[in-house]
A and B are shown apart, each in its own frame.
Chain A
């Protein structure tokens, strides 16, 4: 049997290892917000249709993530979706006439917001709203329109054939 002191230290190491594993699980695997959150400012944008956008979806400029969606509300009067985005403070020079569009990563991937910068000399700041927005492309709607059009063409073809 080993000495009690040796066993104590080995058990201590074991506990440390387990807590290290827990921290990794929390921060690396489940993406719990970090202990030291980066400074951010919140801007809003109103969309007609946000598709599958969720809280914590990424906000990107040119494919680089600059922030994330922090909250999604419904405007009770216009029935538009109001999306709150947290953008990291280091990106504080985004022109305020930029446009925001909801895109999809891959054919069936998750939705994200892409901001396309424009040329204004004034910048987005805390609480400002992005005016120009493009809604999400809903695959089902597109397919529906496509089939509808296809059906119409067929009918026309039939009519021509009948004549």
Chain B
């Protein structure tokens, strides 16, 4: 019995220690800025690897999400004779919620897992230690560009997601179901507010960018340096990132609606 309680305590201390390590990692990434001249090309490479290469999955999924949203929304709204409100429905749900959240979850699956696996493998094959041997700080050379690359890429991907989803809704609502294009856009414009809806969505995606890349980088950096360790670290990276995104989304929405 006592040993069970001791086990629980040990588990608690271990979790706390991991959180502390993750916090120190974030602190070192954020407050020890890399050499601008050397770090900038590395940053661009990471934006390419995390942002540009995620573009395809973001474009395709956002187009289909917009189209499905329009299709479902149209048939529900048509029951109330309010099918002209399709534009606001799609634009508001995409700009406020779906855009930031779905992009962040896709990003965690597409780029976050790759980050964890890459860093974990670097650790398992002692590349990080050899960097330290050569007096290259692996945090500045490897971790920091990956963190900032994700932080910059995710909001940009969210913007692209938003506009493609709305275009998908336009395709279905106007081109297929025959809504009037002028009513679609003007109703959307009169009910979507730039500051309250679009900028808040972008703020959300910045927060998600920090959360997802932070979790991915930490899981990779503190992964057990074996094949099984990297596998479980990659899984944990995606699971934790998705959960963090959904939880943070609720908190942020509550804050934004409550005018904090």
Binding site for B on A (CB under 8 A): 4, 7-8, 10-11, 14-15, 17-18, 21-22, 24-26, 28-32, 56, 106-110
How far is the CB of A56 from the nearest CB of chain B, in Å? 6
Interface core residue of A25, A56, A108 (most chain B CB under 10 Å) = A25
Q: How far is the CA of A115 from the CA of B62 in the complex (A)?
A: 42
Interface-facing stretch out of B160-168, B217-225, B235-243:
B160-168
- Whether a CB of chain A sits under 8 angstroms from the CB of B121 is no
Max chain B C-beta neighbours (<10 A), residue from A22, A24, A109 = A22
Chain B interface category by residue count: 20 to 34
Q: Are A29 and B95 in contact, with the CB atoms below 8 A?
A: yes
CA distance A30 to B189 in the complex (A): 5
* Residue with the greatest number of chain B CB neighbours at <10 A, chosen from A30, A108, A109, A110: A30
| Distance between A71 CB and nearest chain B CB, rounded to angstroms | 17
Spot the interface stretch: B23-31, B171-179, B190-198.
B190-198
Q: Given A25-B163, A29-B162, 9 more contacts at CB 8 Å?
A: A8-B44, A18-B155, A18-B160, A21-B163, A22-B159, A25-B194, A26-B194, A30-B95, A109-B84
Are A30 and B192 in touch, CB under 8 angstroms? yes
Sampled A-B contacts (18; CB under 8 Å) = A7-B45, A8-B44, A10-B48, A10-B52, A11-B47, A11-B51, A14-B48, A17-B156, A18-B155, A21-B159, A25-B159, A28-B189, A30-B189, A30-B193, A30-B197, A31-B192, A56-B190, A107-B81
Say whether chain B's binding surface is mostly helix, strand, loop, or mixed. helix
Write the residues of chain B forming the contact surface with A, with a CB cutoff of 8 angstroms: 41, 44-45, 47-48, 51-52, 55, 81-82, 84, 91, 95, 155-157, 159-160, 162-163, 166, 185-186, 188-190, 192-194, 197-198
Q: Please give, as numbers and ranges, the residues of chain A lying within 8 Å of B185 by CB-CB distance.
A: 28
Instruction: Evaluate contact between A108 and B82: CB separation under 8 angstroms.
Output: yes
Q: Please indicate the chain B residues that have their CB under 8 angstroms from the CB of A24 in the complex.
A: 163
How far, in angstroms, from A79 to B188 measured CA to CA in the complex? 33
Across the interface, do A31 and B48 meet the contact criterion of CB distance under 8 Å? Answer: no
Find the A residue at minimum CB distance from B87: A29
Provide the residues of chain A in CB contact with B155, threshold 8 Å: 18
Give every chain B residue within 8 A of A107 (Cβ-Cβ). Answer: 81
B51: chain A residues within 8 A (beta carbon)? 11, 14
Minimal beta-carbon separation of A106 from chain B (angstroms): 8
Which residues of B have CB within 8 Å of A29?
Answer: 91, 95, 162-163, 166, 188-189, 192, 198
Name the distance in Å between B243's Cβ and chain A's nearest Cβ: 27
CB-CB under 8 A from A21, the residues of chain B are: 159-160, 162-163
The answer to whether B44 touches A31, judged by C-beta atoms less than 8 angstroms apart, is no
List chain A residues, Cβ under 8 A from B160: 17-18, 21
Cα A15 to Cα B186 in complex, Å, equals: 28
Of chain A, the residue at the smallest CB distance from B85 is A109
